[in-house]
Amino acid sequence: MSEEGVPRTPEELEEELFMQDWIECGFNSTKAYHKRHPEVTKQSAAVMGHRLLKRVNIPEMLAAYGLGHDVYLKKLKEGLEASQTSNVYSPKKKKFVKEKTPDFRTRRDYHKALGKALEVEKDKVDVTSDGKPISVNVINYAAEKPGNDPVPV
């Protein structure tokens, strides 16, 4: 029921089930749609999953599952402090011992996520104009100052 005592429409039910699958499938709309509709192609699932995702109030749905900013920030902090346990040979003990070390590979991904959230990092920067590379003129400022010999650039 969408509101107290009001029956849900088939579309609302489809959206709710899709959102459950979307979360379970790691926020992948293609996999989520394909889970409920295995008869469609992956390409069709991508299109239909995208369409369903556009209709859903994602912040509201995430809040219903307790996946708000506080959870995100907590998980982000945990990821920034990720570690791994390795078996390391200890010559002193003459046997392998478990040692906890930083997991830099995992931490790198979380650093990127934090950088994007803080708007410090970006995925890619477009350095083209109309599909053509932008020409950059390098100027040697020392050569332009009076008394300096021209320096080839």
HSE, CB side, 13 Å, CA atoms: give it for residue 56. 26
pLDDT tens, position by position, 102-118: 998 988 888 888 887 77
Least confident segment among 67-71, 80-84, 101-105, 128-132: 128-132
| Residue 31, pLDDT score | 93
Confidence label for 30 from pLDDT (cuts 50, 70 and 90)? very high
Instruction: Please state the rounded mean pLDDT for residues 122-129.
Output: 62
Q: Indicate the angle between helix axes 42-55 and 10-24, nearest 10 degrees.
A: 110
Confidence label for 2 from pLDDT (cuts 50, 70 and 90)? very low
Q: What residue spans define the domains of the chain? A: 10-66, 71-117
Spacing of C-alpha 77 from chain mean position: 15
Tell me which DSSP letter residue 3 carries: B
Beta strands in 46-133 (DSSP E): 83-90, 95-102, 128-129, 132-133
